[in-house]
Each structure stands twice: as structure tokens, then as C-alpha cells.
């Protein structure tokens, strides 16, 4: 399959699994087109035209010919300079790598991470939070992320891949949409009564079983095993952690248990006082689950060999 076709497929599937309505996604793309039309000619040279058709700024072909035929893919959660050199070494040894595929964004996709965080604003609104309040919370958090990312050296790994002439791509939010939707549907269907019931459900997934063996499996961060789960919200998409100020509002909306990939110390200290339970499913394990769900779909359209590295393990589902 051609690289561009794989890229388009990931975007399409990300939209299908998006927690937002199709109308909201379409509105976002229309807004990008309007903004592009308003730009002066010299400003348009710097506008990311991928934003006109792709709602996920953290998912991009970072380098390489889009017509490249891809069969063997080196996949990892974080693909940086070391992993790029690994791809070249494998090719040297006769195992040619057609594509390096990272989950976490690199290059301009990392610099653009802030743009995809508006997804969280829409999800909060769907939960019942006032639109203005949701926007105020998220705008503050987006500013924080923007300041942090602006100083980073985004292009290190991309430059190495370009010099070695290896196609390089990252797929972040489309995969995170898959894991968030997948787990939310399971929780809505199974309706676990207690926190330990949630842990048991998570532990049915091979990715979390492996994480438990590696001592980073699902754990109750706030609450006790016998505590009632109540209304469960799976928060695993939208670029990165949202606003720490939103937890009180979620509690008021009836959310009793939050299931997340990870939680910073600052967020942890804030949520402890909000009378909510928190279960951390595990960061890398959840990223694996999202990527595997996406790959299950991709393999229905082509013959691929996935070479596992950097925390990724391929698990096939029926």
C-alpha cells in the first residue's frame, strides 16, 4: 500500500472513532478553510494545508515520498534518533524498512500538538459542561502546552530520517481516539460496580496484561478497590492532559470515576480533593491498544509486516 493511502486511512479511521460528532469535525475543517482564505499571500506560504482535510495536527507524514510502497513497518511508541538509526541498521542487514511509524508526534506534528487539544473542549461540552467554561479551561491549558513545546528541538529525529532517506510518519490522536472509544463502550456496556471491577475488565486486554507483567499495569490512583464506580469517563484523547481545573466541574456533572492513561503530579494533587475516583490504565499499554486497534483495520486492506520496538507490541484481535 502507498504511504499516502496509509496516512489517509489513519485520518479516516480517526474521524470514525472520534468522540465528537461528525458535524463538529466538519465545522472545524470549514473554519480552517475560512482562515486560510483570509490570509494574505505571503502568510499562506506558511499555512499548514494539511489542516484543510486532516483534523489531527499531531498526525503527519514527516518525511519521505508519499508514493512509497509500504509493507514492512518499524513501529514504536517513541521513535527518535536511536530508532531511526535502528531502521537503517536493519535495512543494512537485509531487513529493509519501508516506513518508520511513531505513535507520539515528532517534528511539526509535535509542534502542532496544541491544535488538536480543542478536541477536549468539545468532549467536555458533550459531557454537559458549559461551552464558555470548557473553552476557558482549555484555552489556559493550551497556552501552557504551547509555551512548553515552543522551545523544543522538534526536528531532530525527522532530520535523521530524511538524511537516511527513510519515510517517517506519526499517528497520535487517531490511535488515541480508538482506545478512548473502545474502553468507553466497554464500560458503558459492562457497567462495573466497583473500582476493582474496572481493573478486572481492563486486565482482560492483552496490552494491560503485558503491562502488569512489566510492573506498570492498571492501578487505582485515587479510591479503594471496593469503592463504587458510578459514572465512568474514559479520558484518553486530545493530544495531552487537559486542564487541571476541570475536575471539580466533572464531579458536579456526575462523573464519579475517571480512567486515564497517566496523570501528572500537579493534576493528581488537584483531583484528590474533588471526590472522584481515578484509575490509571497505563500510558504505554493504552497507546499500544489504540495502535493495535488501528492496525487490525489496516491489515484488512493490505499485507504488512510490523517490526516491534520502542515499547510497541503487536496484538491482533478477531
DSSP code string of 48-76: -GGGGT-S-TT-EEEES-TT-B--EEEEE
In this prediction, residue 223 carries a pLDDT of: 97
- Total of domains in the chain: 2
Assigned domain for 314 exists: no
Q: What is the pLDDT of residue 272?
A: 87
CA atoms of 263 and 271, how far apart (whole Å): 10
Express as a percent the part of the chain with pLDDT over 70.
Answer: 100
Residue 193 lies in a domain: yes
Q: What is the spatial order of strands in the sheet that 60-63 belongs to? A: 60-63, 168-170, 99-102, 72-76, 305-308
- DSSP symbol at 84: H
Whether 93 and 186 share a structural domain: no
**192 & 225 share domain:** yes
| Same domain as 127, residue 68 | yes
Q: Average pLDDT of 11-20?
A: 96
Do both 125 and 246 map to the same domain? no
When comparing pLDDT for 251 and 315, which is higher?
315
* 313 occurs within a structural domain: no
From the CB of residue 186, how many other CB atoms can be counted at a distance below 10 Å? Answer: 18
Residue 219 inside a domain? The answer is: yes
Task: Tell me what pLDDT residue 269 has.
Answer: 87
pLDDT band at 298 (very low <50, low <70, confident <90, very high): very high
Do the domain assignments include residue 241?
A: yes
- Asked if 165 and 208 sit in the same domain, the reply is no
CA terminus-to-terminus distance, the chain: 22
317 in any annotated domain: no
Q: What does the radius of gyration of the chain's CA atoms come to, in whole angstroms?
A: 20
Separation CA 175–CA 86 (nearest Å): 24
303 backbone dihedrals φ, ψ, rounded to 5°: -100, 115
Same structural domain, 254 and 267: yes
Q: Which run of H or of E encompasses 81?
A: helix 81-92
Lowest mean pLDDT across 53-62, 193-202, 230-239: 230-239
- The CATH number for 244's domain is 3.40.1390
* pLDDT single digits (tens) 58-117: 999 999 999 999 999 999 999 999 999 999 999 999 999 999 999 999 999 999 999 999
For residues 27 and 101, membership in a common domain is answered with yes
Is the per-residue pLDDT at 220 higher than 90?
yes
| Shared domain check, 242 and 293 | no
Residue 170: count of CB within 10 angstroms of its CB: 26
Is the same domain home to 102 and 125?
yes
In a domain, 160, yes or no: yes
| Mean per-residue pLDDT, 257-265 | 94
Does 318 map to a domain? no
Q: What are phi and psi of 295, to 5 degrees?
A: -65, -35
Contact 158, 168 (CB under 8 A): yes
Domain shared by 130 and 16, yes or no: yes
Residue 275's pLDDT is what?
86
pLDDT given for residue 274 in this prediction: 87
pLDDT > 80? residue 318: no
Measured CA to CA, the distance from residue 61 to residue 182 in angstroms comes to 26
Whole-angstrom distance, CA of residue 65 vs CA of residue 58: 19
pLDDT above 90: residue 273:
no
Q: What is the pLDDT of residue 240?
A: 87
Which whole number is the average pLDDT over 162-182? 98
Cβ-proximal residues to 293 (8 Å cutoff; 6+ apart), any chain: 175, 178, 179, 182, 317
**Residue 54 and residue 192 in one domain:** no
pLDDT, one tens digit per residue, over 279-292 is 999 999 999 999 99
For residues 294 and 223, membership in a common domain is answered with no
Across 110-126, average pLDDT: 92
Q: Using 50, 70 and 90 to split pLDDT, how confident is the model at 242?
A: confident
Residue 308 scores a pLDDT above 90: yes
| Structural domain harbouring 85 | 3-175+287-308
Considering the chain, what is the average pLDDT of its residues? 95
CA distance 192 to 202: 11
At residue 241 the predicted structure's pLDDT band, cuts being 50, 70 and 90, is confident
Amino acid at each position: 500500500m502507498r504511504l499516502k493511502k496509509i496516512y489517509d486511512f489513519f485520518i479516516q479511521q480517526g474521524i470514525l472513532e472520534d468522540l465528537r460528532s461528525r458535524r463538529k469535525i466538519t465545522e472545524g475543517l470549514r473554519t480552517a478553510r475560512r482562515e486560510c482564505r483570509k490570509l494574505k499571500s505571503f502568510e499562506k506560504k506558511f499555512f499548514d494545508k494539511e489542516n484543510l482535510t486532516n483534523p489531527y495536527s499531531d498526525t503527519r507524514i514527516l518525511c519521505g515520498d508519499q508514493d512509497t510502497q509500504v509493507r514492512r513497518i518499524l513501529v514504536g511508541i517513541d521513535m527518535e534518533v536511536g530508532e531511526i538509526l535502528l531502521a537503517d541498521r536493519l535495512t543494512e542487514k537485509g531487513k529493509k524498512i519501508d516506513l518508520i511509524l511513531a505513535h507520539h508526534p515528532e517534528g511539526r506534528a509535535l509542534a502542532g500538538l496544541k491544535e488538536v487539544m480543542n478536541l477536549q473542549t468539545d468532549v467536555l461540552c458533550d459531557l454537559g459542561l458549559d461551552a464558555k467554561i470548557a473553552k476557558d479551561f482549555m484555552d489556559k491549558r493550551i497556552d501552557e502546552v504551547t509555551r512548553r513545546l515552543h522551545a523544543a528541538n522538534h526536528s531532530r529525529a525527522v532530520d535523521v530520517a530524511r538524511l537516511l532517506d527513510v519515510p517517517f510518519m506519526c499517528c497520535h490522536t487517531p490511535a488515541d481516539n480508538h482506545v478512548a472509544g473502545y474502553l468507553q463502550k466497554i464500560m458503558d456496556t459492562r457497567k462495573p460496580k466497583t473500582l476493582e471491577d474496572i481493573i478486572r475488565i481492563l486486565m482482560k486486554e492483552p496490552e494491560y496484561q503485558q503491562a502488569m507483567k512489566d510492573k506498570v499495569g492498571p492501578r487505582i490512583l485515587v479510591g479503594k478497590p471496593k469503592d463504587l464506580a458510578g459514572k465512568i469517563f474514559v479520558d484518553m484523547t486530545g493530544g495531552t492532559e487537559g486542564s487541571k481545573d476541570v475536575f471539580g466541574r466533572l464531579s458536579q456533572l456526575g462523573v464519579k470515576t475517571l480512567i486515564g492513561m497517566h496523570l501528572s503530579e500537579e493534576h493528581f494533587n488537584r483531583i484528590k480533593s474533588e471526590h472522584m475516583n481515578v484509575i490509571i490504565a497505563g500510558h504505554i499499554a493504552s497507546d499500544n491498544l489504540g495502535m493495535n486497534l488501528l492496525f487490525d483495520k489496516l491489515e484488512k486492506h493490505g499485507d504488512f509486516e510490523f517490526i516491534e520496538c520502542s515499547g510497541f507490541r503487536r496484538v491482533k484481535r478477531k
